[in-house]
Structures are given as C-alpha cells and as structure tokens.
C-alpha cells in the first residue's frame, strides 16, 4: 500500500449514518411501469384465469385494452413507480414529413407523467410483430419497401418490416432529429432506447418470422454492423443530453460494443430462461458509470411458488426482482401495460418490495471524520453504496459550511466503486470551520442533472437530500 495521506492528519469521528431499509427514490434508478406499449391487452380478465403463461398469448387474441387517463395516472402515481415507459410505434409520433404528430394515447400518457412528477423513458419501434396494425410506418411513408413478417396473433395477418434503404435512413434520421428537438432537453426524460433495427427495434431478426425470399442481407453481419453503426450515430446526434440504451442484441455488433465503451447503457428485454452469458457480459463489461435496464416481469394470476421441495432449476416470475438485481440493474420493468402494474400491485406486492430492497444505487456516508494537517481541514466521508449496482453517472458531493461551498466529483469510471464497501472521499472545509456542515449530492447522467437522496434514516429524515454534520 502506498503511503497514506491520512498518516499525517489528525482525525475525529463526527457523524455516523446507518443504512436505510426504506425504498429510496432517486434519479437514474427504480421500478419502471409501462403506460403505453404494443401489448395493450389485459390478461387478468376472468376468462383467462388459470392459463398461466398461456394467458399472455391468448390475451393478444382478445380485443385491445386501451387504458383511460385515470388508469395511466393511477399507475404513474403508484408508490413504487419511479419511471413511466412509453413503447410506441413510429406512426404514433409522426404523420407528416418535417413535423411530429403525437397520437391522443401518447398525449394522455405524457400528461399523466407530467401530472405525477415522475420521470419517463421512450422506445420508438419501426416494426412490431405484436402491434395490431400491420405497419408502424407513418402513412406518408407507406411506399417504403418492406418485408412481410409473421405476427404474434395469426388472425391479424402479416406485419411489415421496413427494409434498410437509403430512403429509410433519411426519414428515420429526420424523425429522430425532430424527437430530439422536442424532448432531449426535458429533465424528466430519463433515457431513450436505440431503435430502428430489427423486430421491436431490438436489433435482431428472427428467421422464423420471415419468408424464404426476403432480403438475405437482413442476416448479413457486415451489413448489420453498418446499419447499427449508422443508427447509433443518428441517435447520438439527436439525443445529446439523454442517456442512450442499447438492447443486448445490439452488442452482438462491433458498433454496439464500441458504443458501450463510450458509455452507452444496456437493456435486456426478456430476462428469464432466455438470458445468455454473452448478454450478461454486455451489462458487466459496460463502462462502470453506465446504466442497466432489465425488462420485463409479466405478472401471472397463478404463479408457481418456491417450496422446500423445489429443485434448483425452479423459476417463477416472483424470483425475477432478485435475478435482475443479481445482474446489477438500475431500472427494473414490471408489466407491459397499466393493467399488469395494477394487477401486480394488488395481488403480488412482494414483487415491488423485493426490488425496493436492492435495486439501483443507495449511497450514504457511513462514518464521517473531521481531518486536518495543521493548515487545512477536510470532511472525510466513508461513502458506501448499499445498492446492487454502481452510480449511473457522475456524483457531485457538496459541503456547505459558514457560507462557503466546496465540491468533489466522483465516478465509478475513476475507481470510486462504493458497492458493498467503504470508499474514502475528502471535501475541503474552511480553515476555521465550525458549527454545522450541510452535505448534499447531485447526479449528472450525460447532460441531465438531479439532486440525490442519501439512503439513510437519521435525524434529517428518511432518505434526506441534505445531511447535517456538527464539526
């Protein structure tokens, strides 16, 4: 160990902040509820009871359930909802070249977000096999060449996947620029998914959905890499302030892996038996300051429950909060629509409670020392992160004493890894510091900033924004 800077300092413990067991709401983390998606069905109606996992598929054969504004607002206001996710089609946001035209459903969802004061996130799909409409293209682009795709519900016929022509990229780029102009500076927009390639915009093409005479280049790795690289560039130019989230499938391409090295976030859509080691590696090998999004828990009416006789291969959706936190996620998604969230809140509140104990980051100073070398004084913080994953960005710690403010910036990229153990961080104080020090924190995620609650229960409250320390 190198010679310690603390050997020549005096020190005195001045505070201790124990960890909180409460759910601490903070930016860049939490439980996600979908307000609008291509799965606007209610699989919790009586006629689907007892079908287990089959209820999800059967529900798509029943008429769509479009939630009312009151249902959306109820989900947005739910105590465990931190972020409201909109998973929409291109045609839901644009109908004419050069302008955005938000559908009434999207407007309702965004109004619910604004009223609730929660954050929101967005994915725009250019193709969805689960959407009732055959095409997600705006009508003015119906002339773009497309491949036919088998849908989830055979009774709805074929869906259309736009091919990746120059015209396609031209109009997708224009659309993304319009989105960025309207929403990128919105402080409540937490992240935007990279999209525009593959089914559901997820970066993959399942061959079983395509006919044999479709463009073979859909499966050409070189062409795929070029397309993903181009879409990443379009997205990064449109959204300069908001974190970009890649699906794990995008990371199969060199362009996706390069974006990870630059700080892109990672998402896995189906975090269950389909989760693979290479997908786990995407999340584990991202930049330490990047976020992780884990979708989607589908709450069923008759879940299998773990018993002493369950084998080690047993799995239930009730296990998924723990599995997602084991991977290390900042955001965990529950359900595909408001009906799912409301059903889970009523029938399986333990889903949310399991997330609440571990999800995201939970930072606090543990022991706080007043240290000095005879000329200068510092507040030395034994910072700890009790969450399951690191801080998704840069954390600025600010100390205010006698009207003087001092700051220090920490990032997991700079080896300030506080997960599960103490990291010493020093904040300078005025030479004659005395009385009370006010400690606060702010998180910067790309171009977005927000205050952070400390994950402690103390005299300042549960999860306070400001800690008071007597020096």
Tell me the percentage of the chain whose pLDDT exceeds 90: 66
Return left, alpha or beta for 213; rule: phi > 0 is left, psi -120 to 50 is alpha, else beta. alpha
Sign of the dihedral defined by the CA atoms of residues 229, 235, 241, 247, in that order: negative
The pLDDT of residue 225: 95
Residue 128 · residue 199 · CB < 8 Å: yes
**Residue 380: exposed, middle, or buried by beta-carbon count in 10 A (0-12, 13-18, 19+)?**
buried
Question: What are the C-alpha distances in Å from 87 to residues 181, 192, 247?
Answer: 19, 10, 14
Compute the distance between CA of residue 372 and CA of residue 8 in angstroms, rounded to an integer.
Answer: 8
The pLDDT of residue 374: 85
Average pLDDT of the residues in 269-285: 79
216/452: higher pLDDT: 452
Please report which confidence band the pLDDT of residue 3 belongs to, taking 50, 70 and 90 as the band edges: confident
pLDDT in tens, 221-255: 888 999 999 999 999 999 999 999 999 999 999 99
The pLDDT of residue 310: 81
3-state secondary structure the chain: CCCCCCCCCEEEEEEECCECCCCCCCCCCEEEEEEECCCCCCCCCHHHCCCCCHHHHHHCCCCCCCCCHHHHHHHHCCCCCCEEEEEEEHHHCCCECCECCCCHHHHHHHHHHHHHCCEEEEEEECCCCCCCCCCCCCHHHCCCCEEEEECCCHHHCEEEEECCCHHHHHHHHHHHHHHHHHHCCCCCEEEEECCCCCHHHCCCCCHHHECCCCCHHHHCHHHHHHHHHHHHHHHHHHCCCCCEEEEHHHHHCHHHHHHHHHCCEEEECCCCCCCCHHHHHHHHCCCCCCCEEEEEECCCCCCCCCCCCCCCCCCCHHHHHHHHHHHCCCEEEECCCHHHHHHHHHHCCHHHHHHHHHCCCCEEEEEEEEEECCCCEEEEEEEEECCCCCCCCEEEEEEEECCEEEEEEEEHHHCCCCECCCEEEEEEECCCCCCEEEEEEEEEECCEEEECCCCEEECCEECCCEEEEEC
Please report which confidence band the pLDDT of residue 64 belongs to, taking 50, 70 and 90 as the band edges: confident
Q: Which long-range contacts (CB under 8 A, 24 or more apart) does 98-104 make?
A: 98/174, 98/178, 99/178, 100/178, 100/179, 100/182
The pLDDT of residue 221: 82
Compute the distance between CA of residue 464 and CA of residue 364 in angstroms, rounded to an integer.
Answer: 10
Q: Is the pLDDT of residue 2 over 80?
A: no
Q: Is the pLDDT of residue 212 over 60?
A: no
Mean pLDDT of the chain: 90
pLDDT in tens, 364-405: 999 999 999 888 999 999 999 999 999 999 999 999 999 999
Cβ-based neighbours of 212, under 8 Å, separated by 6 or more: none
Place of tokens 């088998």: 150
369/38: higher pLDDT: 369
Average pLDDT of the residues in 283-302: 87
Compute the distance between CA of residue 294 and CA of residue 425 in angstroms, rounded to an integer.
Answer: 31
Please report which confidence band the pLDDT of residue 414 belongs to, taking 50, 70 and 90 as the band edges: confident
Please report which confidence band the pLDDT of residue 29 belongs to, taking 50, 70 and 90 as the band edges: very high
pLDDT in tens, 65-113: 888 999 999 999 999 999 999 999 999 999 999 999 999 999 999 999 9
Q: Is the pLDDT of residue 213 over 60?
A: no
The pLDDT of residue 181: 98
Of the listed ranges 14-28, 102-116, 149-163, the one predicted with least confidence: 149-163
Tell me the percentage of the chain whose pLDDT exceeds 70: 91
Average pLDDT of the residues in 419-442: 92
The pLDDT of residue 50: 62
Could you tell me how far CA 326 lies from the centroid of its own chain? 16
């Amino acid at each position: 160990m190198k010679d310690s800077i603390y050997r020549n300092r005096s020190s005195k413990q001045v505070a201790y902040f124990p960890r909180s067991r409460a759910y601490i709401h903070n930016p860049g983390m939490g439980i996600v509820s979908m307000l609008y998606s291509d799965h606007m069905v209610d699989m919790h109606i009586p006629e689907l009871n007892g079908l287990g996992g089959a209820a999800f598929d059967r529900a798509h054969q029943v008429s769509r359930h479009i939630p009312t504004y009151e249902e959306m607002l109820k989900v947005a206001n739910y105590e465990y909802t931190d972020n409201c996710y909109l998973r929409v089609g291109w045609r839901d946001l644009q109908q004419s070249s050069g302008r955005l035209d938000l559908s009434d459903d999207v407007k309702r969802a965004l109004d619910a977000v604004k009223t609730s004061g929660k954050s929101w996130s967005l994915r725009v799909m250019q193709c969805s096999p689960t959407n009732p409409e055959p095409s997600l293209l705006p009508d003015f682009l119906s002339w773009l060449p497309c491949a036919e795709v088998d849908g989830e519900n055979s009774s709805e016929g074929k869906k259309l996947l736009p091919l990746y022509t120059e015209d396609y990229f031209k109009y997708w780029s224009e659309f993304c620029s319009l989105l960025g102009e309207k929403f990128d500076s919105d402080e409540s927009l937490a992240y935007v998914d990279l999209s525009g390639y593959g089914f559901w915009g997820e970066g993959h093409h399942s061959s079983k959905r395509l006919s044999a005479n479709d463009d073979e280049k859909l499966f050409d790795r070189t062409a795929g890499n070029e397309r993903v690289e181009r879409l990443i560039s379009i997205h990064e130019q449109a959204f300069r302030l908001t974190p970009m989230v890649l699906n794990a499938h995008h990371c199969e391409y060199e362009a996706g892996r390069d974006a990870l090295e630059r700080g892109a976030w990672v998402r896995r859509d189906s975090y269950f038996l389909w989760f693979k080691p290479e997908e786990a590696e995407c999340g584990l090998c991202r930049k330490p300051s990047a976020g992780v999004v884990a979708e989607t828990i589908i709450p069923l009416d008759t879940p299998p429950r773990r018993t002493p006789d369950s084998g080690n291969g047993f799995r239930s959706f009730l296990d998924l909060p723990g599995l997602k936190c084991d991977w290390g996620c900042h955001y965990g998604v529950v359900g595909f629509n408001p009906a799912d969230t409301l059903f889970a809140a009523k029938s399986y509140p333990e889903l949310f409670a399991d997330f609440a104990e571990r999800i995201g980051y939970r930072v606090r100073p543990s022991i706080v020392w007043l240290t000095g070398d005879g000329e200068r004084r510092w507040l030395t913080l034994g910072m700890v992160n009790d969450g399951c994953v690191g801080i998704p960005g840069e954390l600025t710690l600010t100390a205010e004493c006698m009207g003087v403010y001092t700051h220090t910036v920490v990032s997991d990229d700079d080896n300030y890894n506080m997960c599960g153990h103490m990291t010493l961080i020093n904040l300078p104080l005025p030479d004659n510091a005395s009385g009370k020090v006010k400690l606060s924190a702010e998180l910067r995620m790309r171009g977005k900033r927000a205050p952070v609650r400390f994950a402690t229960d103390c005299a300042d409250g549960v999860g306070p924004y400001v800690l008071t320390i007597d020096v």
